[in-house]
Amino acid sequence: MISTITVNYRTADYLERMLESLLVHHKNDDIEIIVVENNSGDDLTKLINKFPEVKFISSNKNLGFAGGCNLGIQSAHGDYLVLINPDIIFTGDALYQIRDAMDLQAEIGIGGVSLKNLDGTQQKCVWRFPTPIDQLFLLLKIHHLMPNIQPISNWRMDDFDYTKDCNVDQVMGAFFCIRRKLIEQIGLLDDGFFMWYEEVDYCKRAKNAGWRVRYFANIKAKHKKGSSFDRVGTLKKQNMFRRSVRRYIIKYFGVGIGLIFTLLEPIFWIFSVIASVLKPL
């Protein structure tokens, strides 16, 4: 069985479209569909009535993305658990395809697919693991002045060939297939990452435990990108992002390097204010 877990936070409109597309391309008798309403205030009564085959779980507080996913994972029964964002649109039977592909390669713990923008163009959906240098440049917004600066370009894998299957460091959490055996070995997502970097951390933990992360070029889905984030102010989003970066840096590079990011927080904050003015939401 395949279990899908979707966390809803003010995305009921996207969620309805995602569920419709999922059920068009998959039989509901071998797919377990779980939706976690993450205390967003959305009234999902319409969707509960429209999709009786879907298991809806309500959280009494906003657990963040990782915490919401964990709530769903704990209720799931599948051999594969696929985290699906509400803004995904299925254009084929991608769930069956990724299950079949991972069945053939037992060493793969996490699988990702080729995500397309709504116009069909390729979306960046794989990256290398972050390092202190590229994350420092990112928080200082240097990439806005120098878009092709090497540390950022290397982290973003700007030279990646999206037409070929490849083992990678990380795949995007919008469509994130996890083998149950991996969860049994390394546990749930780290819910200390309230938003952002939870899938990066999980891929890092998986690879450290000897598993592979695989990008599958011929398995496709459309992704609107940022549906929940669109409804959160830029300044708040940047604050959450910086906290996640600091947590990741401290976790994998130590408290000493993390202290640099902590001491530079006032400077990062100034740049986030500038960003919020230039891109208000």
Residue 230: per-residue pLDDT = 60
Hey, what domains does the chain have and what are their CATH numbers?
Answer: 2-128+168-227 (3.90.550.10), 130-157+232-281 (no CATH)
Instruction: Name 246's Cβ contacts closer than 8 Å, sequence gap at least 6.
Output: 258, 261, 262
* pLDDT at position 145: 76
pLDDT along the chain (281 residues), means of 10: 97 97 91 97 96 96 96 98 98 98 98 97 97 96 83 96 98 98 98 95 98 98 76 75 96 97 93 70 36
Give residue 212's pLDDT. 98
* pTM for this entry: 0.94
Q: What is the pLDDT of residue 226?
A: 66
